[in-house]
Amino acid sequence: MGLPVGAQAAAPTFPGRKGRHLDWARHDFTAEGQSFTVAVPQQAAPGRPWLWVAEFFGHQFWHGLDAQLLGRGWHIAHNPSAAGLYGCPRAVAAWSAAYDVWTRRFALAPRPVLAGYSRGGLLAYNWAASRPDAVGAIYADAPVCAIGSWPGGKGRGTGSAPDWQRCLAAYGLTDEQGTAYASNPVDRLGPLARAQVPLLHVVGDADDVVPVEENTALIETRYRAREGLITVIHKPGVGHHPHALVDPAEIVDFITQRALPG
């Protein structure tokens, strides 16, 4: 027998180990061979919107943002098994499989907002380029947008030699191939512009780890040239840290007002 007219099916419950993220429930579980983490609002907003964090879920930098979103009924999701792979094709494939779990099994909205924090920019943008129809918006904070910039350190930035070797291994590239790699987020903006995906970047102008001119500035120039919508918030004199904003209201407004869940 079906549900009465006008009734809604109960939202599926999350399995696994239950803990806390700030003042909200957190669940850690496995599905389809992957690890999943989600912070759950007390009452989901209509449409079950969610922020999908590529890297650094739960770090203190974003506690203010997390608290405001959870308080407004947003879920905050993360897939640890796809992290630490520098946005390589294997990580993108893992996110696609995870997306099906989030949206089909747990009925989260079909168009999440992606959060690309630092190196998480690689995964957020690379997945978005492969699935622009499934992206509500991208919030990127001091994001890596080209592997040659970081971890490669092939430009002005300091780079990271250990991370560069791990990145090359993840992509299956030599040092020369990695330096010349041309499928970075800065190279793959066409699908996002055509889908009219709005972007928000927050950057420190003195960032010498992920230099703005090698990453966000290229995204901004190239996205605007494609008539894409992008906002960049600059923090004068600030380096790679601290991330986010002391008052995250502008970020929260972008996520909740510009990026609709449907």
What per-residue confidence (pLDDT) applies to 12?
A: 79
Instruction: Tell me, yes or no, whether 11 lies in a domain.
Output: no
| Domains contained in the chain, number | 1
**Domain CATH for 212:** 3.40.50.1820
> Which H helix or E strand runs over 235?
strand 230-235
Tell me if 177 is assigned to some domain.
yes
Residue 12 resides in a domain: no
Residue 4 lies in a domain: no
All residue ranges of the chain with pLDDT < 50 are 1-9, 259, 261-262
pLDDT digits (tens, 9 = 90+) for 109-130: 999 999 999 999 999 999 999 9
C-alpha 22/C-alpha 148 separation (Å) is 36
Residue 214 neighbours by CB distance under 10 Å: 20
pLDDT at position 3, please?
36
86 conformational bin, left if phi > 0, alpha if psi -120 to 50, beta if neither? left
* Residue 1: inside a domain: no
3 within a domain of the structure (yes/no): no
User: What range does the domain containing 232 cover?
Assistant: 17-258
Order of strands across the sheet with 137-141?
17-21, 24-31, 34-40, 75-78, 50-53, 113-117, 137-141, 199-204, 230-235
| pTM, to two decimals | 0.94
Q: What is the pLDDT of residue 2?
A: 39
Q: Mean of the per-residue pLDDT values for the chain? A: 94
Q: How many whole angstroms separate alpha carbon 119 and alpha carbon 144? A: 5
Residue 6 lies in a domain: no
Residue with tokens 């190239």: 222
Asked if residue 2 belongs to a domain, the reply is no
For residue range 70-113, list pLDDT tens digits in order: 999 999 999 999 999 999 999 999 999 999 999 999 999 999 99
Classify residue 106 by its DSSP letter.
S
